[in-house]
Each structure stands twice: as structure tokens, then as C-alpha cells.
Amino acid sequence: MLPIQPARFLEDLHNLRGFGAAGLGKGVVRPAYSEADIAARGWLAARITEAGLRVHVDPVGSVFGLAEGPSLLLGSHSDSQPEGGWLDGALGVIAALEIARAAREAGGPAVSVVSFQDEEGRFGVTTGSAVWSGSLTLKAADLLVDRDGVSFGAARASMPGRSEMFVDPSQFSGFLEMHIEQGPVLDRESEAIGVVDAIVGIRDMKITFEGEQNHAGTTPMQGRRDAFQAVSRFNTLLADRFANVVTPRTVWTIGHISLHPNASSIVPGRATFSMQWRDGDADRLGRMEQIIRDTAQEVASSGGFELRFGPMLGLEPVKMDTRLRGALETAAEAEVPGRWRVMPSGALHDATNLSGLMPVAMLFVPSIGGISHAFGEDTAEADLVTGLSVLAGAVAALG
């Protein structure tokens, strides 16, 4: 077993929380390239150097701590949501730091550390690891803009100490990421660890029903082509039709809707809404897509609406590497026998991008109340330490 020091680990985790502390509970405001984010990465680089690793800040600002020669890579991200918690990303980074330190102190195995930049998507989606993995070119990334119109290119230029070189991924034998669950399952079941079997795939597209805008007083119900009614009918039919296709882990969401002209006295002539669905199985995602398209077409045809589908964002499900995942399962059973489970990750992580470069695996610790992307995000410190121990056990076994 590696000589991990839980107190040192927790102290660093709380230290990192000081950068961008929201002043509300343990919340942090540390979006990518903010002053707090850049300062936090500077602090992390100093810790990495202290640990005897070589600091490398890549062109987009992802901070690596490199062991010599071939190594296992551990990490996550240290940027936060605009209003975020102290553990989302930070936990995986500081756990990686502690395990790399302990491994050096024990004389091996070789462990490298990373904190990716802009995982939370101020500009894109998991932008730093997407660029590193090649799924997004640096040129395309530079053109992405945040809500205030700032470009990724301008933002990364503001970060000091970057190298012009990306890290060569061939030096890593695999990637392990510890993360909070960001959902309610482990907390509700009083379990300590989730070993991820797959990061779910996502399909996301905008759908538009175009009906007829009318006066809400003078247009009888019978002749209306009310675009909101089309969305409501589509939503209701969809739930019925999904029933025989989905599993309890499948999710779908209409999270965005825009009516035109969106006024109480006008029958809405147009409704555009987001349809997003996630599942660990690519076939199921495809079957759901067919149901969505057929149901929307049926609503449009029967009600006299014009139907438009926007471009579909598709991210394929990513299965975790069997060997790495097995090491996490063995370590979990040793640490908390019977109090862990295998589960999918419903959220995207940097591990999704890295799966194209090397074997990857992930483990979760509970999120109290399932809360994340909010100041109230938290995990019991005992659970944080359990996660650290399981990760250390897996690293030792993978040697």
C-alpha cells in the first residue's frame, strides 16, 4: 500500500478551495482562465515541483506534473462552473497529487498528474482535454467564444508560463480519474464508492415546430396551430413510447424552450426546444432517436406544423478499460466490502476524451444530496479519504 497521507490530502484540497472562494459555504467561483483559476494553477505547479515532478503547462493551460519515463496518469480539472463546488474536478487533481507524492516517497510506481483546462466548458465542452486528444483542433478551439464574447484564443494567451508543446501521451500507460458522483445514487444507498463501467453517450438536438401565430382572443381553439401545444403533445407521447426501450439509467430532458413571440395574448407560432438523451448503450441511443423523430413527425403531420430538426450533437458512450476498472473494483472491495457498486457516469468527463489516447477508468465518491454545479456541493471527508485509499490501492496494484 502506498504511504498516502489523508491529512495532507485534505489540507491541500482546502487550500485549493481558497482560490476563488465564494464566501458562501464551500462554494468556489473559478472558471477557466479567471484570475482565481490562473492563481490556483500556479499554486498547483509549485506543489507539483515540491513533489519532485516536472511541471509542464501545455499550450491551452492544462497543468501536468510529469514523472520520468513511462507512468500512469492521474488527474481531473481545477477550473469550476461559474457557481461551483469545491470538489468537482479539484478532488481528482489533489488525489492525484497526493498519490504521486506517496508513490515517489515509496520509490514507485511512476505516477504523473494533470489538471485539464476548461473542463467546465466556459468555451467548449471539456475543452483542454479535447484539444489534447485531437478531437478538437487548437485552431477551431481558438475561435470558440464565451458568453461575453471573449475567445478561447485570447483567454489562453492571458495565461503565463505555457509551453508551445503538448505532452506526448505515449508515455502514459493509462488514466485514472476520481470524481464526485454529481448525482444522488451513492448517497441515497449509503455506498462509499462507484466504479464507473461506462461514460454515457449523449445525443442533443434542437427541434422546432412552426405553426401559426394568432391573436389569443379572436382565434377559436379549433383552428389553432399552437406551437406550445405541439411541444406538450410531443413530450407526453414520447414518455409513453420510450417506456419499452429505456432502462432505469436512461435519461432524457427538455431543458430549453423558446416560444415566439412568447407573449400571453398571442398564440405562439413557433417553439424551439432542446431534446437531449443519454445512455451507456449506443444502440439504445439510436433507437431513441428514431422514436423522437417519428413522434415529432406524427405531431407535426397531424396538427399541421412545419417540423425542423437542428444538427445533432453526438458523443458516443465510452466503456472503461477492463484492467484498470478491475483494479479499482478489487481495491474498493478491499476498502469498503459490499459498500460499492458498478455504475455508469451520466456526466461527461475528461476521461471521455482521453479514451482515444490510452486506457481509462474512473471512480466516484458520493455527492451529498446529489448536489453539484452549485455552492452547496459537498462530500463527507471520510468518503473523500476512502476514495483516495481506493485509488491508491488500484495504483499500487497496477504498479
Candidate list 137, 158, 163, 232; residue touching a second copy; CB under 8 A:
232
396 binds a second copy (CB under 8 A): no
387 binds a second copy (CB under 8 A): no
Candidate list 4, 13, 40, 202; residue touching a second copy; CB under 8 A:
202
Query: Helices 6-17 & 381-398, crossing angle to 10 degrees?
Result: 120
Candidate list 135, 171, 276, 297; residue touching a second copy; CB under 8 A:
276
Task: Give the footprint of a second copy on residues 297-356 (CB under 8 A).
Answer: 345-348
109 binds a second copy (CB under 8 A): no
Q: Which is nearer to a second copy, 210 or 226 (CB)?
A: 226
Q: What's the burial of 14, exposed, middle or buried (CB within 10 Å: 0-12/13-18/19+)?
A: middle
User: Is residue 335 within 8 Å of residue 387, measured between CB atoms?
Assistant: no
Tell me how far apart the alpha carbons of residues 55 and 47 are, in angstroms, rounded to a whole number.
10
Q: How far is CA 380 from the centre of its chain?
A: 21
Tell me how far apart the alpha carbons of residues 135 and 34 are, in angstroms, rounded to a whole number.
25
User: Is residue 50 within 8 Å of residue 171, measured between CB atoms?
Assistant: no
CB of residue 207 to a second copy, shortest distance in Å = 11
Q: What are phi and psi of 152, to 5 degrees?
A: -60, -40
Candidate list 138, 145, 157, 266; residue touching a second copy; CB under 8 A:
266
Q: What's the burial of 207, exposed, middle or buried (CB within 10 Å: 0-12/13-18/19+)?
A: buried
Task: Give the footprint of a second copy on residues 171-200 (CB under 8 A).
Answer: 181-185, 188, 200
34 binds a second copy (CB under 8 A): no
165 binds a second copy (CB under 8 A): no
CB of residue 222 to a second copy, shortest distance in Å = 7
254 binds a second copy (CB under 8 A): yes
Q: Which is nearer to a second copy, 43 or 242 (CB)?
A: 242
User: Is residue 6 within 8 Å of residue 388, measured between CB atoms?
Assistant: yes
Task: Give the three cell numbers for residue 177.
Answer: 480519474
Q: Which residues bind a second copy (CB under 8 A)?
A: 181-185, 188, 200, 202, 204, 214-223, 226, 228-229, 231-233, 235-236, 246, 248-259, 262-268, 274, 276, 278, 345-348, 370, 372-373
